Structure formats: C-alpha cells, structure tokens
Amino acid sequence: MSWKSSGTTSCGDLADLRFPSSDEPALFEFRETEVQGIALQILSALKHVHALGYAHRDIKLSNFLLDQSGVKLIDFGCAVRVEDCDPARFSGTPFFAPPEILVGDDVSVRNPQKYDVYAFGALLYQLATGDVGRSVLYGGNVFALPSCWRPETRRPRGWSAKGWKACVGIIKQALAPDPTIRPTVERLLTDKWFTA
C-alpha cells in the first residue's frame, strides 16, 4: 500500500507507519521511490535546521510526521545551537547515538550536526528495511550497533539492485564511525540517488 494513496490527510509519524506494534506487520512497506522521496525531505529539513546553526539531536522515525503534503520534522526539545553545545554531553535517543558518544572519543572532534547525520543513517536503514537493527546495553543506555546491520545482504522486496546499492551507499556514509569523515547533510543531498 502506498501512503500517498491512503486518502487520509494525516497519516501519523514514520515509526507508527513502519512499526505499528510488536505483534502487527508494518502498515506500509515503502517502495524504493517513496523511501527516496521521504529521505530527501528529511535531509532537506535537516539542511534547514543546520543552516540556522542548530542541531536537532533527536533524529528518529517518530520525530517525523507524514501526511499528504510530505514529511514534517517535529520535537525540537533536544535541539541546540551548535555554538552553545557542550560536546561532552549527549542529548537525544541513546539508540541513535553515534559511536563517538558510546566510546568517549576526544570531544574536540564531536559535532552535534554530525550526530544528526549518523541518526539519519540509522533511520534510513529502518525505513527502507523494516529492521530495527541491533542494540547493546552500555552504561545503562541502549545504543545502536549499525556495524552489525548488514544492509548489503537485505535488499527490500521490490527494490532494484541499483537503487538498493545507492541507498546502502548513503547509509554507510551516514553511519561512518569516524565523525571527521561522516558527510554533512549538504553532501548527502548531492548523492546520485537524489540527483539522478
């Protein structure tokens, strides 16, 4: 079923659409072009937030609403102006925390906008595959382990090999363990998956 053909004016958040509950199948298995369009809108919203000098810091499926007009970013409770951010403190949903938070890397390389990019990679994987990934308990918090996700072996049903390869490329870039090589939102928006 396509979310665009549902005929409703408000469909809900992306988490409810993709994972309605633990005992029900996903309401929507988004097609390749739908995931691509949703991802583009998410990145465009993040580009706007980042251009204003902020980081959202809580990027996850449940913080995006979907309706007939598109995707809307919500819940700015963890947002911070980048210049005012204490890089030693993490705020957001621990499952989407980047590795530099988990392993306690040098705070001088931390950038909260790169946290958003990392969380986008995990979100895109979940949106495309319906797989919530694996997690680990560390210091009382649950963290994602994207290195355990093997997106190259899980092409969603109905996706072209070329489209999935391009999507995996974006996921891998966004989930780069080293924040200094993790791309910016602007760089991801120039990827051939969006521009071809």
> What are the angstrom distances between the C-alpha of 106 and each of 109, 133, 180?
6, 27, 12
- As a three-state string, the secondary structure of the chain is CCHHHCCCCEEEEHHHHHCCCCCCCCCCCCCHHHHHHHHHHHHHHHHHHHHCCEECCCCCHHHEEEECCEEEECCCCCCEEHHHCCCCCCCCCHHHCCHHHHCCCCHHHCCHHHHHHHHHHHHHHHHHHCCCCCEEEECCEEEECHHHCCHHHCCCCCCCHHHHHHHHHHHHHHCCCCCCCCCCHHHHHCCHHHHC
Tell me which of 13, 16, 23, 58 is the catalytic residue.
58
* 178 tagged catalytic: no
Paired tokens of 146: 């994207």
Contacts of residue 101, defined as CB under 8 A and 6 or more positions apart, other chains included, come to 90, 110, 115, 143
Active site residues: 58
